[in-house]
């Protein structure tokens, strides 16, 4: 019984991948469960396949060193790199590290800001995809237990 179960999954899986691959940019991320992945490596794998991740100092990744409140952490990703098509924000220690993916159209500037939840102190990563290459920079964000105690 077990074998034909896995065979049926295999066939269905093949069909699904074919359909999903045709989606543009971030929709591909959504469809392939990048948001469901619970480790950064699997997020990166799903988003960028086996493209090399190149550390870059050309990405401005503004994130507080110590978050006032982990529920609302202001984050900005901006870069001068040309031809950017996608920006992603990943928080390693979050249950689902992938927070947000932005598809940047040609007439948009590669400079986005939002506010994200950070569960606990973590390495935060900003990925920038441009012309078939993926650049990344990291920041440390500490999250403290709020309140004066007592």
Partner 1 sequence: MIRGTVCLVALLAGAGSASADPESDRQALARYFEQRFPDVEVAAHIDGAYALNAQTREQWLAMEDFPPYEFSVDDGEVLFGASFKDGSGYQDCFGDGNVKAHFPYFDLKEQSVVTLELAINDCRVASGEEPLAYDGEDIALLSAYMAFTSRDSVIDIEVPPEGLAAYEEGKQYYYSRRGQLNFSCSHCHMQMSGMKLRAETLSATIGHVTHWPVYRLKWQEIGPLHRRFKECNEQVGAEGLEYQSETYRNLEYFLTYMSQGLPLNGPASRK
Partner 2 sequence: MTVKPVKIRGRLKGVIANIKCLMPHPMETGTRRDDAGELIPAHYIRTVTCLHNDSEVMTAHWGPSVSKDPYFSFKIKTASVGDSIKVSWVDNLGETSSGDIVLK
From its phi and psi, is residue 50 left (phi > 0), alpha (psi between -120 and 50) or beta?
A: alpha
Q: Which does 66 bind (CB under 5 to 8 A by kind): partner 2, partner 1, none?
A: partner 1
- Cα 48 from Cα 43, distance rounded (Å): 8
Residues 48-67 that bind partner 1 (CB under 8 A): 64-67
Select from 41, 24, 37 the least CA-distant residue to 86: 24
When binding is defined by CB under 8 A, the residue of 63, 67, 84, 116 that contacts partner 2 is 116
When binding is defined by CB under 8 A, the residue of 68, 80, 108, 120 that contacts partner 1 is 68
Residues 2-41 that bind partner 2 (CB under 8 A): 25-27, 29-30, 35
Residue 91 binds to partner 2 (criterion: CB under 8 A): yes
Assess contact for 121 and 73: CB atoms under 8 A: no
Residue 131 binds to partner 2 (criterion: CB under 8 A): no
Residue 144 binds to partner 1 (criterion: CB under 8 A): yes
Residue 57 binds to partner 2 (criterion: CB under 8 A): no
- What are the residues whose beta carbons fall under 8 Å from the beta carbon of 129, sequence distance 6 or more? 48, 84, 85, 86, 87, 88, 135
Tokens at 59, concatenated: 């990405």
Q: Which does 99 bind (CB under 5 to 8 A by kind): partner 1, partner 2, none?
A: partner 2
What is the gyration radius of the CA atoms in the chain, in angstroms?
18
- Cα 103 from Cα 31, distance rounded (Å): 15
- Cα 50 from Cα 4, distance rounded (Å): 31
Residues that bind partner 2 (CB under 8 A): 25-27, 29-30, 35, 71-74, 91, 94-96, 98-105, 107-109, 111-119
Residues that bind partner 1 (CB under 8 A): 64-69, 71-72, 74, 113, 115, 144-150
């Amino acid at each position: 019984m077990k074998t034909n179960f896995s065979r049926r999954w295999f066939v269905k899986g093949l069909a699904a991948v074919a359909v999903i691959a045709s989606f543009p940019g971030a929709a591909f991320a959504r469809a392939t469960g990048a948001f469901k992945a619970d480790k950064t490596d699997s997020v990166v794998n799903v988003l960028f396949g086996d493209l090399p991740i190149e550390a870059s100092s050309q990405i401005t990744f503004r994130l507080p060193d110590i978050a006032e409140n982990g529920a609302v952490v202001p984050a900005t990703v901006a870069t001068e790199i040309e031809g950017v098509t996608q920006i992603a924000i990943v928080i390693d220690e979050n249950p689902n590290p992938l927070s947000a993916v932005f598809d940047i159209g040609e007439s948009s500037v590669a400079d986005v800001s939002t506010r994200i939840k950070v569960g606990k102190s973590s390495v935060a990563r900003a990925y920038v995809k441009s012309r078939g290459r993926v650049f990344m920079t990291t920041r440390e964000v500490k999250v403290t237990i709020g309140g004066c105690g007592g």
